[in-house]
A = this chain, B = another copy of it.
Amino acid sequence: MSFNVKILGCGSALPTTYRNATAQIVTHNGRMFLIDCAEATQVLMRRHGIRFGSLNHIFISHLHGDHFFGLFGLLSSLGLMGRHGTVWIHSPSRLQNMLESEFSPIDIKELGFEVKFAPLDPEGFALTYDDKNLEVYSFPLRHRVATWGFVFREKPALRNIIKECIEQYGLSIAEIVAIKNGSDLRLQDGTVVPNRELTIDPPKIKSYAFVTDTTKLRSVISAVKGVDVLYHEATYDNSFAERALQTYHCTAGQAAEVARDAGVGKLVIGHFSGRYNSVGLLEKQAREVFPNSIAAWDGMEFEV
């Protein structure tokens, strides 16, 4: 199943000429999800040729402007584009208060489609979305305001039945379903054919984790354990460790320590401070700790 990520913005609070603030698109098996929605996200989607009319689920990590100021314009535009149905917003509960308040910047009752809210769980690793093939979990980070990370994880697929076996044993639909779920086959003469002779392993499940903005946290290591790709904030280079601590952010080295200790497949660092035109130094510092690291750029696209 296709599973990829497009970075629309990997800058931090102040947008620069080079970098927009946080927004990224996760596409899984043809379904599109938006994580964070900084100012100008809808403009960037247009520029990248991303058709967002069918977007159904938006995940907002926290309510700092560089992560959600684009939501008002995006929702308005969906309304103007004649969108119907429901758009779900998985976010801190305060965003629902904001959009439903008397003085909200947009009147969500007038958009022409329904906006529903899934408030993020403040406690721990919690399911916030699932469909047939994918689950999305949220988990709390530690920042100046309530903030969450997300894990997008494929559901384990059923075992693949070996086609020849269907004819060989004259399998019924019920038997096929049972075998795909892991059962052995008992023949009429009492012989048992073990499942491993009837099936092959399904494709390995893949997972993606998004972590920004946060101080370095042990609980993140367990939340993102073994994911294929981890996007982790690295607002500063290692020489700003003190400032990172004060502002509840991470250095490139800390992001790489999380990646290494969680045993992820690949690390993408982002959420770079506006002071960096080039982030080569941050990439180098991450690679010293975790070699399979890469620095994000606006427009970057990768498969999970």
Contacts and interface: CB of A to CB of B under 8 A. Distances in A.
Interface of A: 13-17, 20, 39-40, 42-43, 46-47, 63, 65-66, 68-70, 72-73, 76-77, 80-81, 94, 97-98, 101-106
A16 B17 CA distance: 19
Nearest to A38: B73
A42 B15 contact: yes
A276 to B, nearest CB: 16
A13 B75 CA distance: 12
A15, A69, A102: residue with the most chain B Cβ atoms closer than 10 Å? A69
Nearest to A94: B103
A39, A72, A98: residue with the most chain B Cβ atoms closer than 10 Å? A39
Given A13-B80, A42-B15, A72-B65, A103 B104 contact: yes
A133 B72 CA distance: 38
A8 B77 CA distance: 20
Contact of A46 (B15, B65, B73, B103): B15
B105 A69 contact: yes
B103 A70 contact: no
Nearest to A64: B76
Nearest to A18: B46
Contacts of A77: 13-15
